[in-house]
Amino acid sequence: MKKNALDFWVGLFVVLGFIALLFLALKAGNMSSLSFQPTYPVKLKFDNIGGLKPRAPVKSAGVTVGRVASIGFDTNTYQALVTINIDQQYQFPKDTSAKILTAGLLGEQYIGLEPGGDSEMLKAGDTISMTQSAIVLENLIGQFLYSKAADSGAAKSPGGASADGAPAAAPASAPAAPAAQ
């Protein structure tokens, strides 16, 4: 009798452990939010997709309205070709714009949709032409360092003149005015 109870609890513990591992695997694979609702595909072209991955969320006003279906490369325009699947229940105007955003400072990247004002709606296979590429952190840091180096080089130019040719300001030699009492 005691052995049967012990076997039951061990078996229950193993099953719960398996369920926990399955949950973690689905979370890690970004598959935990599978949707079986009908969708329609829309194509997007970006100059740079950064770290965007398939199954990344597509959001509008903070609500997940779809997922990235596939990412490819257009050899004619040399751009990234992203196909997204939008849930059928969400209809967007033809002049909708899309941009790649990042959740938090170092979070996952997703596509944000901003609806336009057109009365005609997107259909399956349409292409959103107004897109904004991902902001790559390395490029921003490089631009910042380059601008700082250019600024420090302009401040130390020889001959006492600034980089635009204007003479440097002379130090004030007059004594400071006494403070009013």
DSSP labels for 83-121?
A: EEEEETT---BTT-EEEEEESTTT--EEEEEE----SSB
| Residue 34 to residues 25, 56, 66, 67, Cα–Cα distance (Å) | 13, 12, 10, 10
64-110 pLDDT, tens digit per residue, is: 999 999 999 999 999 999 999 999 999 999 999 999 998 877 778 89
CA–CA distance, 128 with 40 (Å, rounded to integer): 13
pLDDT of residue 138: 78
Contact 33, 59 (CB under 8 A): no
Could you tell me the end-to-end alpha-carbon distance of the chain, in angstroms, rounded to an integer? 98
Nearest-10 Cα torsion for 7, 9, 14, 18:
140
102-152 pLDDT, tens digit per residue, is: 887 777 889 999 998 889 999 998 989 899 888 877 788 888 888 888 888
